[in-house]
Structure 1
Amino acid sequence: MIIYTFPVRTAFIDRDLEMIGPVSAIKSLEFTQSPLKLPFFFVLQFFQLLWYLPKTSQYLCFFGGYHSVLPAWFGRVFGKKCTIQAGGTDCINMPEIGYGNFRKKWLRKATVYSFKNCSLILPVAEALVKQDYRYDPKISPKQGLLNLIPDLKTPIQVIPNGFDTEYWRDLGKERKPFSFISVATGTSHPARAIVKGYDLIEKLAENHPDWTFTLVGDSAYVSPNSNVLVLGKMNPAELLNSYNSHQFYLQLSTSEGFPNALGEAMACGCVPIGSAVGAIPEIIGETGLILFQKDPKMLNSLIFTLFNESSKVSPQVARLRILTHFSFKNRRDALLKALNLY
């Protein structure tokens, strides 16, 4: 049986369970993101891991952090494989915008211990291994695991996310011209909003009152612009319809690993506009727009350039990119092979 630990249940987790469940018994153990609850959850997790130890074949963690310390330790002590899937914040140190595990002393120690003592690291993007970050000039350029943990010896294998392109598809609906959508959770927290690029989106909305913007994922987020519609979390069916009613998808993150919503939206035919961070340029390829520096004027100019290049404003091209490079099957096969299940 695989023990799967994570700090919070997300679409990433559900997709992994869907991939692994048919070929191996797997038990998911959710941890906590609350600092006040940390001592309790460390004790709880210790006894959970002890209880399941006789049946455990290996440990799997999504993100490195507090929740991965004990699985890495159990793996070491009892000779069981422990794999950590690095997802983004666990490979980043950006105190300038209040983001990344490495900006907090004890979380950094937990993250470093986990990555040094696990058996295998599976980042979702090459940029999480090592990157020379240039998007926001006020942020340190040295990001990624090998920059932040120079003596890291643990084997690393990049496995990008994959998407169910039979579900996430172009429904052939009419799309409102100059309509933009972006999906992110927790954006009512100002630091999180900046991480997800909402400051740039608001500047676009302010400068173009005739364009429409939909921000999905946090109903508590407050926009100063009347042409910005804020919606809460959506189920997959609601997201499918929302993607299909918009012309463009915005992923203007200041930092990112491998954003699921971007791939989903492209599979649904949204033309992507993204920042040059994490796997975003790799996902978009030649099918949309890449903003190489955080600059509202540059973004505005590039969007008008995109409008004038009709060949790029194509739902079919964006969808084909996901079908070709980021299929559900590709990720499933690579993940099962890395876990010795395939």
Structure 2
Amino acid sequence: MNILYISSGNPTFVRKDILLLSKQNNVKSLLSPWNTVNTPINFIRQFIYLIPRLKKIDVIIVMFAGYWSVIPALFGKIFNKKVFIILGGTDCVSYPEFNYGSLRKPLLKSAIYYSIKNATCLLPVHESLIDFTNSYYDNSKQGIKNHFKSIKTDIKTVYNGYNPRVSLDTIEKSIRKPNSFITVALVNSKIRLILKGIDLILDSAREFPNASFTIIGIAETIKSQLEIPSNVIIHPPMSSELLAEKYLQSEFVIQPSISEGFPNALCEAMSFGCIPIVSPVGAMPTITENIGFTVKNRSTEELSSVIKNALNLTNDEKVNLRFLSHSKIVNNFSENERISKLEQIIEEYKYK
């Protein structure tokens, strides 16, 4: 099958999808960055790219809904091509009070509405992107069914998938720093600092001087504006090899985000044996079910209470949870299962 994979960037999870789909299909990609400045010219470039190639394309897959999904959705309708839009998170939510979520912008919201209305099928990475009440933050109604009540497009959930880089034996032999916590999040603005709950982590860390907190992914411009406790170490983004070492040295992973889709950093940390501490948003309750700890509401007091409970675990309890974390990712969220489901859905719609 001839597949065109479109994305507004070239992140690891996009490259992985393309690589795995290419094993059974002929996959071409159009991975162009879109921003406010280049959007008009990108519409023209996308139009020029698609017109001569449409005849040879059977299926178009678009990673996330946005301006870049409008022309594929339009051409799919006109030329009877199957268009599948993967919904990832920010394209399904609106939090105007701290400027997060694509749906808070009227023009972008219109582009997303047109795209998902005219797509063949929508592929959210988790059910919460369809309909979700954020009890952790503000009790707001999120998900495409709440923002676009008239949408009748077919929806089929396809979870993200992973290929753990270490075995259970490696995790068993790993030497973890006692009372160590790790957080991995790309933070290049104050918005993302709040979104990922880094402010809460910094506040809570002050209450636990005998614990260590490592935060990876903070831009230097943001780091310079923070009051960092002595037991917190902040790093800029790092290579996957160095990140693997940090995971294997840490006992817990903290992700108290306000909004998530299917967080890759959490799944990767768990695959390395980190015990999760998460907020109940997006896919995180599904990923961490019966494992680790949940921060029920967004407050320093609640996060500190959960951290205290984590620190009270016995060594045997930690070892057991470490194995459960790794096994949960291996047994439930494999990359082969994700691609298999994607291909099954594409095949299902082939002659519709």
* TM-score, length of structure 2 as denominator length: 0.92
- Alignment deviations for residues 19-78 of structure 1 (CA, whole Å, 9 cap, x no partner): 201111111212323201111111111111113212211110111011100111111110
Indicate the residue corresponding to 2:201 in structure 1. 201
Aligned to 1:282: 286
SS in 1 for 2:37: helix
Instruction: Please state how far the C-alpha of 1:160 moved relative to its aligned partner.
Output: 0.9
Matches within 5 A, 1:320-339: 320-339=327-346
Cα distance 1:268–1:3, how it changes in 2: closer, same or farther (>3 A)? same
Q: Is the 8 A contact 2:34 2:42 kept in 1?
A: no
Deviation at 1:115, TM superposition (A): 0.6
Unaligned runs of 5+ in 1: none
User: C-alpha distance in 1, partners of 2:200/2:126?
Assistant: 24
Query: Is the CA contact 1:124–1:257 (under 8 Å) kept in the aligned structure 2?
Result: yes
Q: What whole-Å deviation, never above 9, does each CA across 1:148-203 have from its counterpart, x for those lacking one?
A: 10011000011111110245764432111121111111x13000111111111111
* C-alpha contact (below 8 Å) 1:168/1:264 kept by paired residues: no
1:146 aligns with 2:153: no
Equivalent position of 1:266 in the other structure: 270
Question: What do the CA deviations read for 1:214-265 (whole angstroms, capped 9, x no partner)?
Answer: 2222332314213322222222222211211111111111100000111111
Q: Does structure 2 conserve the Cα–Cα contact (< 8 Å) formed by 1:168 and 1:240?
A: no
Bigger drift between 254-263 and 12-21 goes to 12-21
Supply the AA of the counterpart residue of 1:224: E
Q: Partners of 2:330 and 2:129 in 1: how far apart? A: 23
**Aligned counterparts of 1:334 and 1:317: Cα–Cα separation in 2:** 25
Aligned partner of 2:227 in structure 1 is: 224
1:161 match: 160
1:115 aligns with 2:130: no
In 2: Cα distance, 1:214 partner to 1:79 partner: 50
Tell me the secondary structure at the aligned position of residue 224 of structure 1: coil
Q: Distance in 1 between matches of 2:290 and 2:209?
A: 28
Q: Secondary structure at the match of 1:54?
A: helix
Give, in whole Å, the separation in 2 of the partners of 1:164 and 1:213: 26
Give 1:312 shift.
Answer: 4.7
TM-score norm. by structure 1 comes to: 0.94
Maintained 8 Å contact 2:88/2:125: yes
Aligned to 2:261, which of 244, 257, 264?
257
**CA offset at residue 9 of structure 1?**
1.5
Question: What CA distance in whole angstroms lies between the structure 2 residues aligned with 1:168 and 1:237?
Answer: 15
1:298 equivalent to 2:296? Answer no
State the partner residue of 2:215: 215
Q: Tell me the secondary structure at the aligned position of residue 203 of structure 1.
A: helix
Deviation at 1:268, TM superposition (A): 0.5
Query: Identity of counterpart residues, as a percentage?
Result: 35
When residues 199 and 231 of structure 1 are mapped into structure 2, their CA distance, relative to the original with a 3 A threshold, is same
Contact residue 3 and residue 58 of structure 2 kept, 8 A: yes
Counterpart Cα distance in 2 of 1:312 and 1:96: 40
Task: Please give the alpha-carbon distance, in whole angstroms, between the structure 1 residues aligned to 2:310 and 2:317.
Answer: 7
Q: What is the one-letter code of the residue matched to 1:63? A: F
Paired positions, count: 339
CA contact (8 A) 1:218 1:230 kept: yes
Moved more, 24-33 or 37-46: 24-33
C-alpha distance in structure 2 between counterparts of 1:208 and 1:304, whole Å = 8
2:41 matched residue in structure 1? 40
Is residue 238 of structure 2 the alignment partner of residue 234 of structure 1?
Answer: yes
For 2:59, the equivalent position in structure 1 comes to 58
Give 1:150's aligned amino acid.
K
* Secondary structure at the counterpart of residue 340 of structure 1: helix
**Distance verdict in 2 for CA 1:69–1:274, change over 3 Å:** same
Determine helix, strand or coil for the equivalent of 1:136: coil
Matched position secondary structure for 1:74: helix
**Residue of structure 1 equivalent to 2:250:** 246
Q: Does 1:100 align with 2:107?
A: no
